[in-house]
Structure formats: structure tokens, C-alpha cells
Amino acid sequence: MLFVTCFLSFIPHVLYYPEIADRMNVVIEMIVMKELNKTFPDNVTAVNNVSLHIAPGEAVALIGANGAGKTTLIKLICGMCKPTSGYLRVFGEDPMKRGKNTPLTGLVSGAVITDSYSFHYGHSSSVLQDDMMLGLNLEMIGNIYRIPKKLVKQRTAEFAEAFGLKELMHYRIAQLSLGQRMKAELAAVLLFSPKLLMLDEPFVGVDATSRLAIGRALNDLVSKGDTTLILTTHSMIEAEQICKRIILLDGGKLAYNGSIDRLKRSRIGLNRLDASFEDTPPDLGDLPVTRYTAENYALSVEYDVSDIPSSDIAGYIIKNSKAKDIMIEKPAVEKIIRELYKEGQNGNDDKC
């Protein structure tokens, strides 16, 4: 019993110190950070005391308002800027001292001009050359990463079909629109199958059809479990479709770190029911609803499902009136996120 207790207390040290994990043959977390800080010379703290783990093969949505610290955190993970203080390991190594044998990392960014992200020990963004055609770019990337020509041809055909790039293969990169370039860069990065893929606002300028195609491609990638994905986005639709976990930054601080399902359960909020009728709406005075309004053959109800299930309200309405249409709206994740932002602005520390 004493041995088990001592061993369990030792686990955090294994996670934070890879050299111990190596000796014990323990699987290292993909990314580990503890009390990580980044303050720029103008005294702006972009990342403030952030501690978290990201496991191999996990898909994580990194969200937050503009200026929350998302892009700075991505740059810290990539080794593009040095932390002011704290502990950070990626693949069990210091990102600032990664070697040539470090597993490949892919980065695509629509938040800033991606050319400003330089090539650094096996990770890249904007691997595309402006003065070369897209097809030649992908062929060159295949040669750089020593990918078999047959596999390059197969993957290029798959991405061209999925992302609508077939007609653009003979266009120079400089001729592409922002949305077309984002799709081309994503195809280029996926070509060499990175172990860690970071997408910083990848849907900027991308049309609705292509967004769905990219979402499907990322879901397929995540389902294989070979790639760890970090997605920063302002769209909770894409975040929910692709990721199971949310990391919410607010003013550089960690405001929430957990599953989307847990966020919904902890911040369930009020459901809303709207109904239309052939005649006068029923009186809901005896039901435990939060509030309701009835006028012009229409009814709007807000209620907490912990007080009364949706089926009970709908059943009561159908039984006591001539309802034409009933629609129930559950609280959206975007609304919950907005509430968390407001709490942060009001200085409320009671966050999930």
C-alpha cells in the first residue's frame, strides 16, 4: 500500500521530466507545460501562468478572443519564441533545443502572414514557394521529406480532390487567393504526415464547401490516432466537429481546460421552446419554467432541464392546445463561451 502511494505521487515528476520517463519506459505526453509565461519587452503578458498536458493523438481546440494569447502559445510550442519563465516540453524536448531527429511538426496559419513563420528543425508553415506552381511545390516537398513518389502522387490526388485544388495545380502560389492558398498550404503540410499539426485560424478565406472538406480530412486524420492536432479558431462549429477538448485562453490565462461535453454539462443554461398555435396558447403558470411570453398565437418559454424535461413541456402544450409547430433550442457552446468571456472581464475567478 505504501509502495502504491509513493509511486502515484511520483507520476507528476515523470510527466514533467522526460529524462525520468525514458529510464522508466513510460509514454511521454506530447506537450507538457507548467506555469508557462511569456512577457514581451513592452510589458505585455501574452501567456500567463499556463499549465496543461496534451496527449499523443489528441485533438484540441485552442480558443479565445483576439489578443487572448493563442498565437503566442503556438509559437512557444514551435520554439519560435522563448518563454519568459516556466516549463515546456514538446516530444519530451525543449522546443528551443530540438534536434534533427525530432518528429515532424506542421504549422498552417491564417492568423498572420505565414511567411513570417520560419523553418525550424523539422516544422514548417508556408512551405510553398510563391514563384512555383502548386503541383511542383508538392513534388518538391515530397523530395525534401523523402516520401516515395507513388505515395506523393496518391496523396496529391486525394487532397486535390478533397480541397478543390485540381484546377489550380498549374497556378503559381502567388496567383492564388487567400482561401485557395490556405487549402494549398494545408495539403502541403498533410503531405509529409506530421506527428504534431498546429492549425492557427486555418479557415480564413475558405468557402463553406471547402471548410466541410477540410473538416472531414482532419477528422480522418485524428481518427487514425497518429497525429496530435491543435486547432485555434473563432468558429465553435469547426471546433466541435473536429475536437473533443477545449482549451480556453482569456487574457493569457487558462480559463477552461476540458471536454466540450463537460463544458456543456457544467454550463447547461436555459433551454428555449418556441411554439405556434391555431388559437390561444395554453397557460403555463403551474409549470416550473423560468419565464414565458404568449401573444399573437405564439409562445416562447425558457426553462432549466434540471427542473422540467423538454418532453414534459412539449407534452403539456400538445395536450392543452392546438399546436401547429414546436421548436426546442438547446444552449449553444458559443453562447457558453461568451458567458465565460464576460466572467473574465468582470473578474470572476469561478470558472470551470
Residue 163 C-alpha cell reads as 480541397
Q: Is 174 helix (H, G, I), strand (E, B) or coil?
A: helix
pLDDT of 148 higher than 70: yes
Nearest alpha carbon to residue 15 among 3, 31, 2: 31
The C-alpha angle 42, 45, 48, rounded to 5 degrees, equals 165
163-200 core/surface letters (b: 16 or more CB in 10 A; e: else): bbbeebeeebbeebeebbbbbbbbbbbbbbbbbbbbbb
H-state helical runs in 199-332 = 208-224, 236-242, 260-266, 310-319
pLDDT of 131 higher than 70: yes
Cβ neighbours of residue 6 under 8 Å, at least 6 residues apart?
A: none
For residues 32-39, average pLDDT: 96
Evaluate whether 228 touches 58 at the Cβ level (below 8 Å).
yes
CA 149 to chain centre: 32
pLDDT in tens, 21-32: 444 444 457 899
The predicted pLDDT at position 268 comes to 58
Determine what percent of the chain is predicted with pLDDT higher than 90. Answer: 38
Q: Which of 83-87, 107-111, 144-148 has the highest mean pLDDT?
A: 83-87
Nearest alpha carbon to residue 52 among 261, 258, 239: 258
Q: Is 35 helix (H, G, I), strand (E, B) or coil?
A: strand
pLDDT in tens, 230-252: 999 877 778 888 998 999 898 89
pLDDT of 3 higher than 80: no
Q: How many CB atoms lie within 10 A of CB 127?
A: 24
Average pLDDT of the residues of the chain: 81
CA distances from 198 to 107, 165, 227 (A): 5, 21, 10
